[in-house]
Amino acid sequence: MKLLFPQATHAFNDFFIEMMNQSLINSFLDQAFKSYEIDNIDEVVMVLLENPVVENFLNAYLKDSTLVGKFKLIVLKKETSGSICTSLMAISHLKSESVIISALDQLFLDKIIKHTELISDNSSFDIIAPIHYSDDDTLSYALKDEDHNVIQLFEKKVVSNDALLGVYVINNFSDFLKHCHDLLIKYKGFKNRVFFTSDVINSFIAKSYICHFPSLNVRYNKIRSLEDFKNIDG
């Protein structure tokens, strides 16, 4: 299992450097990686936007880290059209692999996201996308039918209180690529539309792939600013 962080944006680089300047970056990274069952991750893959300061710090941190073992940094020269496009930049490294897609700016301070338990509970799957209770209109939400089956996901639209946690366990990254490609063909590329992970999962749902949406009781922290990180009480 590989853990992918698609972080290739100017906003992430600016945030990262601000955390460095405030001497908070090590604490932030430690808490970010501690949110996952890192001992059962074969490799951490990060897709970054070119910035020597960020690249050099992360390379040194990851080499010295007792939390992270094998890692790979993929550096892009230009910002992409969203996290899906960024994730696809890692396809040559992740093809046919089992992959968790997440984001460094999501912290789960009171509970580790144990992907091995999620897989054990849902042994036959194409995608596992945990949900949690929320009414935050910046998140994605699941709409269920009367039998409590998820039938569609909505981006930044509170159609229920079942928000996606932003952690996606993908059994085969090549399947994920195929669904992304289908969306590209349907909408004629990325130029006129920003695609979200919810769009890709909706494609999985529509084509009757095996998708599980287990509910987790976690304290979700989205770190959008320096103040957000300073104010967490974990």
- The mean predicted confidence, pLDDT, of the chain is 89
* Predicted pLDDT at 191: 65
Q: Tell me the pLDDT tens digit for each residue of 66-114.
A: 889 899 999 999 988 778 888 888 988 998 899 999 999 999 877 788 8
* Predicted pLDDT at 209: 93
Specify the length of the chain in residues.
Answer: 234
* Predicted pLDDT at 196: 84
Q: Which two tokens stand for residue 32?
A: 């970010």
Amino acid at site 31: Q
CA distance 31 to 33: 6
In this structure, are residues 216 and 165 in contact, taking their beta carbons and an 8 Å threshold? yes
The answer for residues whose C-beta is within 8 angstroms of residue 210's C-beta and 6 or more apart is 124, 125, 126, 127
Q: How far is CA 65 from CA 45, 100, 154, 195, in A?
A: 15, 20, 37, 33
**Terminal-residue alpha carbon distance, the chain:** 27
* Predicted pLDDT at 189: 60
* Predicted pLDDT at 192: 65
> Per-residue pLDDT for 182 more than 90?
no
Q: Tell me the pLDDT tens digit for each residue of 15-32.
A: 999 999 999 999 999 999
CATH of the domain spanning 2-231, picked from 1.20.1080.10, 3.40.1210.10, 1.20.970.10, 3.90.550.10: 3.90.550.10
CA nearest to 156, candidates 180, 140, 171, 143: 140
* Predicted pLDDT at 220: 86
CA nearest to 166, candidates 2, 6, 14, 1: 6
* Predicted pLDDT at 151: 94
Q: Which two tokens stand for residue 83?
A: 């996290």
CA nearest to 36, candidates 138, 139, 112, 145: 112
